[in-house]
Homo-oligomer: A and B are copies of this chain.
Amino acid sequence: MPVPQHIFDPPFNVRRASHVVLDVTNLAAVRTFYENAIGLHVEDADSEAVYFRGYEEQQHHSLVLRKAKENACRRMGFKVGDEADLDKAASFLKSRGIAADFSEQPFQGRTLQFIDPLGYPIELYAKMDKRPHLLRRYDLYKGCHPQRFDHFNVFANNVQGTVDFYAQLGFRLTEYAEEDGPNGRIAAAWMHRKGNVHDFAITNGRGPRLHHFAYWVPTAMNILHLCDVMASSGYVSNMERGPARHGIANAFFLYVRDPAGHRLELYTSDYNTMDHDHDPLRWSLRDPRRQTLWGAPAPKSWFEEGSPYTGQAVHDPLFVADVIVAS
């Protein structure tokens, strides 16, 4: 694949992946799952929406559930440096012919929303309402002690195109998986802005769909405890994969499905990538340690199922890298 160059002077400054907005048909059941099993803090709630944050987060929300007629991912949110970056983003998108609209969003103020050329609904903002972090409120900790939103992982029917678009925005490649050989095509990519392994990861498949979003937890012990809590709370069938360790990112992970079917990763243990000369790590699709360092296979659902984006059609991938399932 053509590996994109690191760009250090992007058209606007995305700081990090910030929050996800999910449509769910059963708001009460999904809230219970995130509040009591996962242990996210409910910051605000009404009959139409619930706003959650992790224990270190100093802003109003990183997960929003909205009552809807279909289960889907409504938006992926990224935070930019400041208000001027929002204006630069608007100019950039306009110059590329991408429609984008400013609006006021609850608790996060001026927000720029658009559908990227690959079909992903994105929103950018600079300042969200602040809240004191809860790091030292250990008396409130529940579930797996989720600390902060970390990243998105999406199914893309055009991985190379998606990588190239986000590389222009300053997202830098940290790891990628590709077919062997001189014309090997890229099948998966991990890209970051904030200085760890990823803010945005892209997997070949029917897309655009959301594969998962992820929260960072303090240690593997919190993830093991979550397994126990889920097993004793009626959520045993919501545990889809893990706990185990990825070769990718060296992450210790658990993948769970919420009652609406959205996939959440709880993970810990990645590494720093903020050096400008940090080289991306290439994985051969034939290396099974990429998926699971410890050898256990992922279930079929993990390769095939994902959340559609509200209002976005899903397309078959441009190619099928069949070994990905086999690994």
Binding site for B on A (CB under 8 A): 8, 15-16, 36, 56, 58-59, 79, 81-82, 126-127, 130, 133, 135-139, 141, 147-148, 194-195, 218-221, 224-225, 227-233, 236-237, 239, 243-245, 247, 250, 252, 269, 271-272, 274-279, 289, 293-296
Contact = CB atoms under 8 A, between A and B. Distances in A.
A231 B274 CA distance: 28
Chain multiplicity (copies): 4
Contact of A221 (B220, B237, B244): B220
Contacts of A127: 277
A200 to B, nearest CB: 15
A74 to B, nearest CB: 23
A36 B16 CA distance: 37
Contact of A224 (B141, B220, B276): B220
B15 A247 contact: no
Contacts of A16: 272, 274-275
Contacts of A141: 225, 228-229
A50 B16 CA distance: 38
A225 B277 CA distance: 30
Contact of A232 (B56, B139, B219, B233): B139
12 contacts: A15-B275, A127-B277, A135-B250, A136-B228, A138-B228, A139-B233, A194-B195, A218-B269, A220-B220, A227-B245, A231-B293, A239-B294
Contacts of A272: 16, 56, 148, 194
B136 A294 contact: no
A265 B58 CA distance: 27
Nearest to A81: B276
A310 B253 CA distance: 42
B271 A231 contact: no
A224 B250 contact: no
Contacts of A276: 15, 81-82, 126
Nearest to A273: B58
Given A138-B228, A148-B272, A224-B252, A277 B126 contact: yes
Given A126-B277, A231-B294, 12 more contacts: A15-B275, A16-B275, A58-B279, A81-B276, A82-B277, A133-B271, A136-B228, A195-B195, A231-B245, A231-B293, A243-B243, A243-B244
A18 to B, nearest CB: 9
Given A236-B289, A245-B227, A271 B147 contact: yes
A204 to B, nearest CB: 24
Contacts of A277: 82, 126-127, 130
A225 B138 contact: yes
B194 A274 contact: yes
Contacts of A233: 138-139
Nearest to A225: B138
Contacts of A244: 227, 243
Which 9 pairs from chain A and chain B are nearest by CB? Answer: A138-B228, A56-B271, A138-B232, A219-B219, A236-B295, A81-B276, A135-B250, A231-B293, A139-B233
